[in-house]
Structure 1
Amino acid sequence: MQKNISIIISTYNSPELLKKVLFGYNTQTYRDFEVVIADDGSSQDTFDLIEKMKQKVFYSIRHVWHPDNGFQKTMILNKAVLETSADYILMTDGDCIPRADFVEHHIKNRELGFFLSGGYYKLTDSISKKITKNDIYSGSCFDLKWLKKNGISFSFKNNKICEYGFKSWFLNNITPTKPSWNGHNASGWKADFIAVNGFDERMQYGGEDREFGERLVNYGVKPKQIRYAAICLHLDHPRGYVKPEMIIKNQQIRKETKTLGKVRTEFGLQK
């Protein structure tokens, strides 16, 4: 049966992080969704984890994989988009644990002609490692008291964790941060993805998600801010795949997209 929303989770050789994220989706208040894992070439450990998790969660999981050939997230995301069954797609990463109302906020706020830009709360390495399945299922890892006990410091960003209802709506409306397509927490209509031909597969790490959102805006899709409503915890980990030449190449492609007002990439879903 077709689901109301498809959730694409990107991953690469991080099964312990992915496991925590998948437990997070098992707590969701909104349950009419499927998960499609966009795997950029992980080894057998990730395959084994996914097979085990399929037996532990209520939702369906589809594993989309290609061989490891360096950072090719844009390619695997395009492949995952083609595997989704829903008209609406939420994209996030395999290091981002969703709060229990995460999917619900994306569903409540979706609107034709818009994409949604959510937020994240970045954790330290030590807290990231401390989080257990029980902490996720109980919601304690989203509790400020628990986080402070485990070492987070005072910050205005703590409002992302503890505010609900009117205050989160108010913060979304007054924040100076502009909404953009963020790989860790953004959603939009599949028809719009197809219209702009998906992600530019020439791009590697550094702004590849933003460039996709910029073409959506050029197409006429407006971004909507929900960074204080749809919240996920960003687990800390090393990023050995980041190279300066990737950033430089991506910056040039983004500059071209902005200067020319490009809508479609020639290097996307359809070649």
Structure 2
Amino acid sequence: MQSNPKASVIISTYNKPSWLGWVLHSYTLQTEQNFEIIIADDGSDARTKAVIEQFASTSNLKISHVWQEDQGFQKTRILNKAIVASNSEYLIFTDGDCLARKDFVETHLGLRQKNGALSGGYFKMADSITSHINTTVISEQKCFEKDWLIAKGQPSSFKLNKLTRSKTKSQILNWITPTKATFDGMNVSCYKKAIVDVNGFDERMQYGGLDREVGERMMNNGIKFMQVRYSTICVHLHHERPYKTDKARALNEAIRTETKRKKKTWSPYGIKQ
């Protein structure tokens, strides 16, 4: 591990220790190994700390655990702390329920552009498949294979194209997809300067669009978002979202509306307050 990593992978988590263990295992398999991991932990209990300590004791990857006390959903606050703690000029954001294909970090780094951000996506696994996930399945990369997923109960659909290994096919699909390139927190990357220049995440934001808002400020500040949803591959473990509420959505929509209307490039509720 070099002293200056090529990338900092920021993984947000909250009380999903077994899933985080799987996610961390997926990063030990990366074709590019010169990166650090920053765990942005929004108040998990000691089980998560134990998983991270075990990983640190057996992996050559540098890992940092950035933790804050559980005060309800405060993901934006811990993400800002993780940004400050990072030691690379390039940041990759993802979640503790997203398994990364072995070329994930290499692809993000290979496609990066100055004054640009990469907008990835994820493939959502069916609920029933989670019971089949283990470190062997991840090591053999079976959870990224269409035939294995279908055999385990994944419905067949066009979305399985998100798992393509063809660079030509992925480029074409990235080009023709109607999905807008945005800051989507489970799979997005940018230069650290680009997000620091807009003061990071707005810490008033609750669940639902909190990452889109920082992306909109970055766009207002001249950063171009590029679609890579068929190139930077991760699969999402199924779970419910009890923290999704009408009140949180209304608050976030009001903040995003103001950001768009005023073409804001800075939030006073971000890293610097």
Identical pairs, percent: 46
CA distance in structure 1 between the aligned counterparts of 2:245 and 2:43, rounded to whole angstroms: 18
How do residues 195-206 of structure 1 correspond to structure 2 at under 5 angstroms?
195-206=197-208
How far apart in 1 are the matches of 2:241 and 2:121? Answer: 20
Of 28, 52, 55, the match for 1:53:
55
Shift of 1:153: 1.4
**Residues 101-155 of structure 1, C-alpha deviations (whole Å, 9 max, x = no match):** 1111100000101000011000122212211100001111111111011011111
**Given the two structures, how large is their TM-score scaled by the length of structure 2?**
0.98
Q: Which runs of 5+ in 2 are unaligned?
A: none
Question: Equivalent residues in 2 for 1:82-231 (5 A)?
Answer: 82-231=84-233
What SS is found at the alignment partner of 2:153?
coil
- TM-superposed deviation, 1:248: 0.5
Verify: 1:65 aligned to 2:76, yes or no.
no
Number of residue pairs matched by the alignment: 271
SS at 2:259's partner residue?
A: helix
Provide, for residues 220-247 of structure 1, a one-character-per-residue CA deviation record: whole Å limited to 9, x for no partner. Answer: 0000111000010000122222222111
Contact 2:118–2:227 (8 Å) recurs in 1: yes
2:271 — aligned with what?
269
Q: Distance in 1 between matches of 2:206 and 2:121?
A: 22
Unaligned 5+ segments in structure 1 are none
Cα RMSD of the aligned pairs, angstroms, is: 0.8
Q: Which amino acid aligns with 1:91?
A: F
2:239 aligned partner:
237
Deviations for 1:166-194, whole angstroms, at most 9, x for unmatched residues? 11111111111111000100000111111
- Alpha-carbon offset, residue 162 of structure 1: 2.6
1:210-267 CA-partner distances (Å, limit 9, x unpaired): 0010000000000011100001000012222222211110000000000000000000
Give the TM-score normalised by structure 1: 0.98
> Does 12-21 or 157-166 show the bigger shift?
157-166
C-alpha separation between the residues in 2 aligned to 1:254 and 1:226?
24
What amino acid is aligned across from residue 118 of structure 1 in structure 2? Answer: G
Q: Is the 8 A contact 1:70 1:241 kept in 2?
A: no
